Amino acid sequence: MDAKYILGIPEIDAQHEELHELVNSLREVITRKDQRHLVHQALKRLHQLLVTHFAYEEAFMKMIGYADLPQHKKTHKGVLNIFENYFDHPPEPGDYEILGKMITDKVLGHVMEHDVKMTEVAKAHMKTNSAPRGRKQKT
Ligand SMILES: [Fe+2]
Ligand SMILES: [Fe+2]
Q: What angle do CA 103, 35, 78 make, to 5 degrees?
A: 15
Distance 69 CA to ligand 1 centre (A): 13
Query: Whose atoms come closest to the Cα of 58: which ligand?
Result: 2
Q: Tens of pLDDT along 25-44? A: 888 888 888 887 888 888 89
At 99, the amino acid letter reads L
Is there a domain that residue 89 lies in?
A: yes
Residue-level pLDDT at 77: 94
Q: How far is the CA of 135 from the centre of ligand 1 (A)?
A: 36
Distance from residue 121's CA to the centre of ligand 1 (Å): 14
DSSP sequence for 38-98: GHHHHHHHHHHHHHHHHHHHHHHHHHTT-TTHHHHHHHHHHHHHHHHHHHHSPPPGGGHHH
Residue 111 lies in a domain: yes
User: Residue 100 domain-assigned?
Assistant: yes
**Residue 45 covered by a domain:** yes
Total domains in the chain come to 1
The span from the CA of 78 to the CA of 75, in Å, is: 5
Please check whether residue 79 lies inside any domain of the structure. Answer: yes
Residues 52-82 pLDDT 10s: 999 999 999 999 999 999 999 999 999 999 8
Q: Which residues surround ligand 1, an ion (CB under 5 A)?
A: 115
pLDDT per residue as tens digits for the range 75-95: 999 999 989 988 898 877 777
For residue 73, give the CATH number of its domain: 1.20.120.50
Residue 35 forms part of a structural domain: yes
Report how far ligand 2's centroid is from the alpha carbon of 116 (Å): 9
Tell me the pTM.
Answer: 0.84
Domain range for 14 is: 8-125
What is the tens place of the pLDDT at every residue in 88-114? 988 777 777 787 888 888 887 777 778
Between the CA of 26 and the centroid of ligand 1 the distance, in Å, is 18
- Report the greatest alpha carbon distance in the chain: 74
Residue 64 CB neighbour total at 10 angstroms = 17
